[in-house]
Amino acid sequence: MFHIHQPRIFKRFANVRAAQTLRGRTHLPYGFNMSLTVGDDEVRVRAHRARLAERLGFAPERLATQRQVHGVRVCDVGAGYVPEESDAIVTAEPGWLLAVSVADCIPVLLYDAERHVVAGIHSGWRGTAGNITGITVEHMRTHYGSQPRSLYAYVGAGAGECCYEVGREVAEQFAAEHSRRIGGEKYLFDNPGAVLAQLLACGVAADRIEMDPRCTICGTAFHSYRRDGARSGRMFGVIGMPASLA
Ligand SMILES: [Zn+2]
């Protein structure tokens, strides 16, 4: 079994591959885990990563990961790339498969159809609060000449408004329409809605944005840190332009 979901929005582009991996159904709780730092068997995780890359048309050694820290730093991927502390990576070089590691945080994948640039963004509530999506779009504009109107976006599955409980101190960092009070100091936070608002505010066209409506906490097809805690695997959101198609 091969556990990935491929967004529809990029399928019109023959030179782009994108996916979000799923939890899988065997070897639970880790399943089709992509993380080397959650206690899973390293050999199996590396095999999962290699299978993912090869299935999408990339060499496993060109899978670009990052050391995510819930910040807003953007790194460029190219020859000699070594993962640094960042939460968004960008490349214009075919052959690289950019990876964002998630379990409830949202993987935001971007493609500039004019300049042929891709980006992978990790947007949990902290990243969203810091507008990492807007910062990445601006980085693409200043470093690659990308115009927001040329961008296509996939907002992958993450914790949804149905389940993503946060405290008032978190809810207050966002516009009121992105959270709903459920009593006391508790709120349900709509992280996908907040990311969508950021993409629209950047100038990305609404009909070029695909939202995955599924919630990772109540959706059993996904890994969820909120639901499963320390023994939860991680999924990758990935995007790239295979070198063979360049
Ligand atoms: Zn839910």
Closest by CA to 2, choosing from 30, 36, 32, is: 32
Question: Cα dihedral sign for 66, 240, 8, 115?
Answer: positive
Question: Residue 224 C-alpha to ligand 1 middle, in angstroms?
Answer: 10
Question: Residue 237 C-alpha to ligand 1 middle, in angstroms?
Answer: 19
Residue 245 has pLDDT above 90, yes or no: no
Kind of pairing between the strands at 235-240 and 97-102: antiparallel
Determine the average pLDDT of the residues in 36-62.
Answer: 96
| Residue 1 pLDDT level (bands cut at 50, 70, 90) | low
% pLDDT > 70, the chain: 99
Residue 241 has pLDDT above 60, yes or no: yes
Please tell me what DSSP assigns to residue 126. H
Distance CA 51, CA 17 (A): 14
| Residues with a beta carbon under 5 angstroms from ion ligand 1 | 160, 162-163, 215, 217-218
CATH number at residue 48: 3.60.140.10
Question: Residue 199 C-alpha to ligand 1 middle, in angstroms?
Answer: 22
Please tell me what DSSP assigns to residue 230. G
Provide the domain count of the chain: 1
Secondary structure E strands in the chain: 4-5, 17-21, 63-64, 74-76, 88-91, 97-102, 106-112, 117-123, 151-155, 165-167, 179-183, 186-189, 209-211, 235-240
| Residue 112 pLDDT level (bands cut at 50, 70, 90) | very high
Residue 246 has pLDDT above 70, yes or no: no
Determine the average pLDDT of the residues in 94-112.
Answer: 98
**pLDDT tens column, 129-139:** 999 999 999 99
User: How crowded is residue 191: how many other Cβ atoms within 10 Å of its Cβ?
Assistant: 27
CB 13 within 8 A of CB 239: no
Determine the average pLDDT of the residues in 66-86.
Answer: 97
User: For residue 51, what pLDDT is reported?
Assistant: 97
| Residue 2 pLDDT level (bands cut at 50, 70, 90) | confident
Question: Residue 158 C-alpha to ligand 1 middle, in angstroms?
Answer: 9
Please tell me what DSSP assigns to residue 73. -
The reply to whether the predicted model has a pTM over 0.85 is yes
44-82 b/e (C-beta count within 10 Å ≥ 16 → b): ebeebbebbbeebebeeebbbbbebeeebbbbebeeebe
Residue 88 structural domain? 4-245
